[in-house]
Structure formats: C-alpha cells, structure tokens
Structure 1
Amino acid sequence: MMLSDPAQKYRPFVAVDLPDRQWPGKRIEQPPIWTSVDLRDGNQSLIDPMNQERKQRLFDMLVNIGFKEIEVGFPSASQTDFDFVRTLIEQDKIPDDVTIQVLTQARPHLIERSFEALKGAKNAIVHVYNATDPMFRRVVFKVDKQDCVQIAQDATRQIRDAMNAAPETNWTFQYSPELFTTTEMDFAVEIVEAVMDTYQPTAEHRMIVNLPATVECATPNNYADQIEWFCRQVKNRDTLIISLHPHNDRGTGVAAAELGLMAGADRVEGTLFGNGERTGNVDIVTVAMNMYTQGVHPALDFSNITPIMREVEHCNQLPVHPRHPYVGDLVFTAFSGSHQDAIKKGMTERREHPDAIWHVPYLPIDPLDVGRSYEAVIRVNSQSGKGGVSYLLEQEHGVELPRRLSIEFSQVVQEVAERTGREITSQMIYQAFSDEYLERSEPFALASHRLWSEPDSPKVNLEATVDIDGQRQTLSGEGNGPLAAFIGALASAGHEVEIIDYNEHSRGQGADAEAVAYVEVRLDGKAIFGVGIDDSITSASMKGVLSAINRHHSTQAPAANVTSNTLA
C-alpha cells in the first residue's frame, strides 16, 4: 500500500553542488561514440536469452546499422557467450573497423577467462567494473573505500599485463565505477584516478571511463551535473573517453543521455529500442533520431526502420511498443480529427514546396526518412474527422474531395465507424464513397450522349440517352458548354437543377487516367453533392449531376420532379 507520507520511507536525491554549471547552454552538434550492449546487457535481461543463431543475426544487423563498438557478451560468466565470441573471431565475422567489447567483474579468474575468449581478436575492449556505491560496499561486498580501490587497481593491473602479453590485438581498457550516480562524487574521482595511475592512459591511447546510471534515481539534470562535475575534477581529462550508460528506471534514460552528452561525455552505451534490466537501458534509436531531427546525422543508419524493429523483436522475443518513438507501428499515425486535418494541410503545403525545411504538424520527421510510407500516417475511427477521410481518399484512391463535400462525406464515414466500433480502413472508406456517390443508378442513369455545335454558334448541342425510372429517354439541350447543355436537356424534360459549385480533376496518369467530377446542386432548396467518374470528363460531369439527383431522390417519398433555377 502506498504511504500517505512517502517522506517517512524515501529521501530526495542529494544534488551535486554545481552553481556555475555550463551544460544547459550547450547543444549536441555531433554524434557520440555509440556502443551497442544489446548482446550483453540486453541479452541478460531476456526471458529467453539469445541462442547462437539469434546472436549472430543481431550482431550482423548492428554492423550494418553502423555500430563500430559492440559489446558481444560476458564470456567469463556464460559458456554461450564464450562460444559466441570465439565463433566471431575464429570464423572472421568481425569487420576490421568494428571493435568488440566484453564485460568482466574485477575477479582474477573471470578476467583470465575473458582474455581466453578474446584471443586473436583484431580490436577489443575489455570492460571491468566493481561496485563503488556505499550501500553495496557496506551491505553486498562488506568492503571499505580502501578495499574497493584495491580491487579496482588489482583488476586493472591484471588486464594491463594481459594486454601487453598479446600485442597482436588493438586493445582498449574500460573501467566502470558501478552505480556511479549513487557513489560519493569525490570517491568516484578518487577510484577512477587510482585506476588511471595503474593503467597509465595517454592522449594517444585513451582509456574509457564509463559512468553508469546503473539505477536511475534522480531527474536527468542531476546526471548531467554529475558528469560535468566529474569531467572538471578528474585529472588528465584528455586521456579519457567519458562514457554514459543510463538505465531507464524513472523513464528518463533518453533525457539523461542527451544531457550527459551536453555535459561533456564522449560516448553512449545502450540498446536498440531500450531493452534491458527492469525498465531497460537507454534507447539508442531514440537518442540518435532525436539528433537527426535537429539536423545532426547520428552516423547510424535507420533508413529502413521496420525490418530493424522486426529483427530485434525476433532476436529478443519481445515486442516493440506500437507507440515507441520513431519506430512503433502507430507512431506516425493520427486518429484524431483535428490532428488529421492539420497533417493533411501540412502535407499539401509540403507537396507544393518539396525542398523546404520539414514543417508538417504532428510529424517531427518525414516518415520516408525511416522507410515508412505516408499510407499509415492517417487512419480513421470514430475519433476521426473530415481531414483523415479526405487524406486517405486522396493518397490511396486519387479522389480529392472539395471541402464542403469532405464535410458531407465524413458524416457517412462517422456513421460507419460508430456502428462498427472499429477502425475504418482505406478500402472501407472508398467502398462507402462508391456506395454513396458512384453506384446510385435510380431513378436516373446515363446511357450515352452525343455533342455537336452549329457553325458560327457559341452554343453546344447535346443529345443524351438517360434511363429514368427504368424507361430509356432521349433528352436534348444546348448551352455554353457540355454541362450547361446537359442541365438544359434535363430542364426540357421537366427536371430542373441549379448548379452551385463544380470541381474536376484527373485520377491517374497517361492514357489510363480517369476524370473525376464533383457537382454540388440545389434541389428543393437543399444543397447536395454528386460525384461522377469516367474516362471522359464530359461523361463524368453528367454522371455527377445524376448522382446528386439520385441521392436527393433517395431521401424523398414519393418521388417528384426536381424544381429550381436553371444554370445561368
């Protein structure tokens, strides 16, 4: 049961004293060194850890994405990891520009086993850690600060000597004071400097100091303060690569990584889509794509994000949330009517200015940049409006509804959505459009027509064959154009129609293009739309008039002649 006063049990995080902090005014202007820990940190958190096949598939994909550092396992703790590392090396599956990384605890036999796994590697990082947090020192390991430093130095010395004994490998050393964020900051500097004294890094051969938020326990600005404070205090900063390893216990791992980079870090360890213990590691995809939206290329290629997501889901046997930033199946999808209307208008402007800076409402990036199409940007349910319906008709069926018709037809779709209680697909929308406007053939249906004009006459003559209440009739009329002549022909037979508005466009390209005509008429004092589609624009416009008349008649009982003013 939640406490009425949680202060009885929990205490706020004690912030670093850094009144002149500089990081809030910084910007991320270049990508960090990215290190994937999917195959180690991510894998150890899985319900069903990866087998060799899944590990290899994920490794190959990470290489293709562009990762140059990949933590491939904990070979001293897992025979599966050991065998995988050996397979990578012995079967020459590691590109020359990729460095593999292994993790080990600061214990002699585990360090020795790690070097056995790495034998023959071209480029390798040996990552050693020991817990420096006061609770771990006191409760878990029962060591004091001096003992803790000694453990780190002894492990460093053993790793240094093993590296010197295998000069054929290009080695990099990495040390993590585990639970850095809850370690006393002065002690974090003390133990790192003791490790540095043992390893002796130089500006030409730097060591990695990884500063993990092993358990995220404060707002991300505190992590940034800690990183900036550490970078200021530690000696010989130019001999170090400062690395971040944020976890996501508070749901702010991405923000912690971004602020940590602003505070001076050089490197980020994380996983694709944030898989990891508890609430996970920092999500490298989100951090990278956040940079991309600011005009900074992350040096990782997510141009085809859906196959990447599906492969990770296969390897991890875990789903990616449909609302996951940049990636989820629904992340570029709008159901809300107001959102859809704004997106539709933004996309229309984008088509008119395709080379302009990207500014489309509700879409922080162009879905095409990550291999998504525009087809799923707008989807329709009972929460949607005219904008979404019009967008789908236009994008997938080439039907560009005038605004007033869009309003009218959205009510038809709304009724379907509320009646079914489910999402309305593009095909369902077009079927409803066809049923409502295109397929109505009673009481009027156009059979054929013939046009001609007399010499020296501005008028167009028309003879139309029309089925009316199942009876074929021939109607004749004239006017300033084909549509006016058709209105005249209807009037001559006692069916008077007033045209309020008319729009047309082509659908498709080349010889197969169709004409679409939208006709708004006034009948019995009411405005109503009709739509016609035909290979001929003249036939399409006539069908549009009859569509409107038929829709009007469907609401009248008994049927009666249509009366209004003729086309001027």
Structure 2
Amino acid sequence: MDTGHVLIFDTTLRDGEQVPGCKLNTPQKIEIAEHLEMLGVDVIEAGFPISSPGDFNSVVEISKNVFEPIVCALSRGVKKDIEVAADALRYARRPRIHTGLGTSDSHIKYKFQSTRERILEWAGEAVAHAKKYVEDVEFYAEDAGRTENEYLARVCEAAIKAGATVLNIPDTTGYCLPDEYGAKIKYLVDNVRGIENVIISAHCHNDLGVATANAISAVMNGARQVECTINGIGERAGNTSLEEVAMIMKQHPRLNVTNRINSKLLNPISRLVAERMGMLVQPNKAIVGSNAFAHSSGIHQDGVIKHRETYEIIDPVDVGVDESMIVLTARSGRAALAFRLHKIGYPINKVELDMVYELFLEHADLKKEIIDEDLHSIMSDSKVTSKVEA
C-alpha cells in the first residue's frame, strides 16, 4: 500500500444508521452503497448481520451490487457473530469481517466481568476464527480512547499475531483530545511488534465536537484508514464526517496524504443520505451545509464578489455546489445589491444604486432575506426603470 494514501472506510450504513429514526430498508441501503462506490470510498461497512434478518439481507444484497470497494460486516468477538457475518459476505468480491471487543478497564470490569489477560486471549481467538472465513480481518479495540496505551499495545499484538490485517483504534466515547489521540496512534506505531504489516484505522465519535480533528491527528501520526460517515451522522453526537476529512486532506498539501474521494459528488450524496434517512443537515455544517458557501455580511460579500478566495478556502464547484450564494439581508452593502440586480437583469449605475439602496434597506429591515421577487418589486417602486430583458 502507498504509505501516503489514506483509505476511506464509510460506516454510514452501519454506525450512521444507528441514529434513532434513521432506519433504512434494503433497497435504500443498496442505493446509498452504489453512490458510495461512485464517490470513491475504499471500504463500505454494510451492516451488523447478526443484529437482525434485515441487516443480514442488506449485507448480502450490497455484496452483490458493489464491485470496487471492500464490503465489510461487523461482528462482536463471538463465534456465532463471526460465522453469520461470513455467511452474509459470501457474495462479496472483497469481503472483510470487522470483529473485536472492549479493551478499557471500564469495559473489561463492567461489561465483560473479565480480566485483562482473558481479553488478550479473546482478541486472538476472535481474529483467528474470522480468519477461517476471510483473509481480510479488521480488529476493533472498543473504547481504545480510554484504554491505557501499554495494555492496548499488547491487545494489538495479539490481534496481529492471530492474523488481523487492520487495527481499529476507536475513540468510542469521543473523549480524547486531538493531541492525546494522535499520541496514542504514535505509541502503537512505535511499540507494537508487527505494526508495519497492518493498517491502523481511526474511528472517532463526536461527543466533544473533535471527531474530525482527532481523525486528522491520527493520520498525522500514522493511521492510514479513517472510519467516517456522510454528514457525520452516527451514535449520539455522530461520527467523523467523511466530507470534512476528505476536504481537509485536499486543502492541506502539507499532510502529504491522498484519498480516492471524488469531491464533486460530496453534496449530491449528502442530500441523498439526508433525504433517505429523514435527517436534515444543519445549515452551518462544514462542506455540505446550505450556508457553507453563503455570504450575508456586506464586508464578506464585497470581498467574495471581488475575489472569491478572499473569504472562501474551497471552490464550491469542487464539492458539487454550483456557485457561492450572495444572500441579501439588512447587513448587505451596495456591492451585493448591485451584484444581484445585475444577475436578474438590472445593470444599474452608481447614482441609480444609491437611490435603490435606501428602498432596499427599508424592505430588508422587515424581512430576514430579500429574494429576487422582492428585488423586482423594489425596482418597480423605484424611479429606476431600465431593465435588460433576458
């Protein structure tokens, strides 16, 4: 594998679908999976087969309908789970079983009522069993974010020895800070025997709003797979956002990493997932929010009109948006008003603009936003009548 290439592991159909009220049926999952393939994701986590007959069937059907990405099925580190996952993946061209167990003292004591030594044995047993069915086995150390690094390294070595090809280091509760999570990845890179033969994967949750920052910190310290979801959906506060990770890598060459994502498809797939799951994207969401390329402040509007890069670090076309939006409000200046008027056929001069602007402000103080229909009305009420017909 190219050491500068980062695999994008999409778990929209598994972790993302765990959001209450966002249940998808099998045809909807296939539709999203096919769009994820077009987007360029490397791995699609298609579901958790043992959890329900519907999830099992979805993994089967997705395996039949996608060709390039690895199709991954989740399982607990339990033999029956692993066997059901393997069965669900029987049609996959590139199957992967994703198995594991909790490794933090909290999980060991309260969830499993077990010991550290038994967890070490169990990790190896789970990977070895999965390895009977597929070559590509990803091991997750649940709650790795709160697992003591030296012990986590021992668990990772046990998984590698049993045949794991990918090590998932989840910040399951979203607790870590970026420097802390990055340091954890670096510790594993420096201290785990055989780590050079596997891929380290970052799976971060957004409980404290730092999932994307943690994922990028992991990449900077040696992780070469990022687990993420479209629109950042997922358990509780969500997961690392695929669109954010992809564009951070693209916009920051100093990271010296690449991915296969076709960024121009980010907005279309964002809308698709939002519609199928019935979960609206917040307007101020980075990259795909409706306000991501919208400008309402007069100072910002003037800057963008003169030179887009004054206030935009991403060309909207690069992420599937037609153009930046100049939103007219009471905070808009003359430059923005003239720009919008020109676009709808009123190429007015400076004197005419001064006349119209006062009338515009009167309307703008009464409404949150002035739309093109309002502008036509304003121009009709003003003494400026010249209009260029389309």
TM-score by length of 1: 0.64
Tell me which residue corresponds to 2:288.
Answer: 327
1:228 aligned partner, one-letter code: K
Tell me which residue corresponds to 2:126.
Answer: 155
Contact 2:30 2:65 in 1 (8 A): no
Q: Which has the higher contact order (CA 8 A, sep 6+)?
A: 2
1:93 to 52, 57, 65: 65
Tell me which residue corresponds to 1:241.
Answer: 199
Structure with the bigger percentage of strand: 1
1:61-460 equivalent positions in 2, closer than 5 A: 61-89=35-63, 92-95=64-67, 97-163=68-134, 171-199=135-163, 207-294=165-252, 298-347=259-308, 360-374=309-323, 377-397=325-345, 399=347, 401-402=349-350, 405-418=352-365, 420-439=366-385
- How far 1:31 sits from its partner (Å)? 4.7
Contact 1:386 1:406 in 2 (8 A): yes
Secondary structure of 1:39's partner?
A: coil
- How far 1:65 sits from its partner (Å)? 0.7
- How far 1:140 sits from its partner (Å)? 1.7
- How far 1:363 sits from its partner (Å)? 1.3
Secondary structure of 2:270's partner?
A: helix
Secondary structure of 2:99's partner?
A: strand
CA separation of 1:119/1:298 partners in 2, compared to 1, >3 Å: closer, same or farther?
closer
Contact 2:59 2:88 in 1 (8 A): yes
- How far 1:405 sits from its partner (Å)? 4.7
1:339 aligned partner, one-letter code: H
In the alignment, the residues of structure 2 paired with residue 380 and residue 369 of structure 1 have an alpha-carbon distance, to the nearest angstrom, of 24
- How far 1:234 sits from its partner (Å)? 0.8
1:114 aligned partner, one-letter code: A
- How far 1:238 sits from its partner (Å)? 1.7
In the alignment, the residues of structure 2 paired with residue 268 and residue 533 of structure 1 have an alpha-carbon distance, to the nearest angstrom, of 53
In the alignment, the residues of structure 1 paired with residue 259 and residue 334 of structure 2 have an alpha-carbon distance, to the nearest angstrom, of 38
Tell me which residue corresponds to 1:50.
Answer: 24
Secondary structure of 1:40's partner?
A: coil
Secondary structure of 2:38's partner?
A: helix
Q: Residue deviations 1:236-265, cap 9 Å, x none?
A: 222110110011111011111111101111
CA separation of 1:258/1:398 partners in 2, compared to 1, >3 Å: closer, same or farther?
farther
Q: Percent identity?
A: 26
In the alignment, the residues of structure 2 paired with residue 436 and residue 133 of structure 1 have an alpha-carbon distance, to the nearest angstrom, of 70
In the alignment, the residues of structure 2 paired with residue 273 and residue 75 of structure 1 have an alpha-carbon distance, to the nearest angstrom, of 24
Contact 1:57 1:315 in 2 (8 A): no
- How far 1:408 sits from its partner (Å)? 4.4
CA separation of 1:309/1:401 partners in 2, compared to 1, >3 Å: closer, same or farther?
farther
In the alignment, the residues of structure 2 paired with residue 401 and residue 373 of structure 1 have an alpha-carbon distance, to the nearest angstrom, of 28
Q: Residue deviations 1:258-280, cap 9 Å, x none?
A: 11101111110110110000100
1:394-543 equivalent positions in 2, closer than 5 A: 394-397=342-345, 399=347, 401-402=349-350, 405-418=352-365, 420-439=366-385, 532=386
Q: Residue deviations 1:416-449, cap 9 Å, x none?
A: 111x33311133224313431334xxxxxxxxxx
In the alignment, the residues of structure 1 paired with residue 28 and residue 387 of structure 2 have an alpha-carbon distance, to the nearest angstrom, of 52
In the alignment, the residues of structure 2 paired with residue 306 and residue 117 of structure 1 have an alpha-carbon distance, to the nearest angstrom, of 31
CA separation of 1:533/1:273 partners in 2, compared to 1, >3 Å: closer, same or farther?
closer
- How far 1:298 sits from its partner (Å)? 3.8
Unaligned runs of 5+ residues in structure 2 are none
- How far 1:119 sits from its partner (Å)? 2.0
1:187 aligned partner, one-letter code: Y
Secondary structure of 1:53's partner?
A: helix
Tell me which residue corresponds to 1:452.
Answer: none
In the alignment, the residues of structure 2 paired with residue 98 and residue 424 of structure 1 have an alpha-carbon distance, to the nearest angstrom, of 45
- How far 1:304 sits from its partner (Å)? 4.3
Q: Residue deviations 1:273-309, cap 9 Å, x none?
A: 1000010010010111222223576421131444322
RMSD (Å), alpha carbons: 2.1
CA separation of 1:393/1:533 partners in 2, compared to 1, >3 Å: closer, same or farther?
closer
In the alignment, the residues of structure 2 paired with residue 315 and residue 251 of structure 1 have an alpha-carbon distance, to the nearest angstrom, of 25
Q: Residue deviations 1:341-370, cap 9 Å, x none?
A: 2222225xxxxxxxxxxxx22212122222
Which consecutive aligned stretches of 4+ in structure 1 deviate over 4 angstroms post-superposition? 532-535
In the alignment, the residues of structure 2 paired with residue 264 and residue 87 of structure 1 have an alpha-carbon distance, to the nearest angstrom, of 34
2:368 aligned partner, one-letter code: R
1:307 aligned partner, one-letter code: P
Q: Residue deviations 1:207-258, cap 9 Å, x none?
A: 1001111111132111111111111111122211011001111101111111
Contact 1:338 1:387 in 2 (8 A): no
- How far 1:76 sits from its partner (Å)? 1.5
Q: Residue deviations 1:285-342, cap 9 Å, x none?
A: 0111222223576421131444322211122221111111111112111111111122
In the alignment, the residues of structure 1 paired with residue 238 and residue 147 of structure 2 have an alpha-carbon distance, to the nearest angstrom, of 21
Contact 2:60 2:91 in 1 (8 A): no
In the alignment, the residues of structure 2 paired with residue 534 and residue 281 of structure 1 have an alpha-carbon distance, to the nearest angstrom, of 50
Secondary structure of 1:103's partner?
A: strand
Unaligned runs of 5+ residues in structure 1 are 1-28, 164-170, 202-206, 348-359, 440-531, 536-568
In the alignment, the residues of structure 1 paired with residue 157 and residue 387 of structure 2 have an alpha-carbon distance, to the nearest angstrom, of 78
In the alignment, the residues of structure 2 paired with residue 160 and residue 270 of structure 1 have an alpha-carbon distance, to the nearest angstrom, of 25
Q: Which has the larger radius of gyration?
A: 1
2:345 aligned partner, one-letter code: H
CA separation of 1:386/1:50 partners in 2, compared to 1, >3 Å: closer, same or farther?
same
1:15-54 equivalent positions in 2, closer than 5 A: 30-54=4-28
In the alignment, the residues of structure 2 paired with residue 314 and residue 265 of structure 1 have an alpha-carbon distance, to the nearest angstrom, of 32
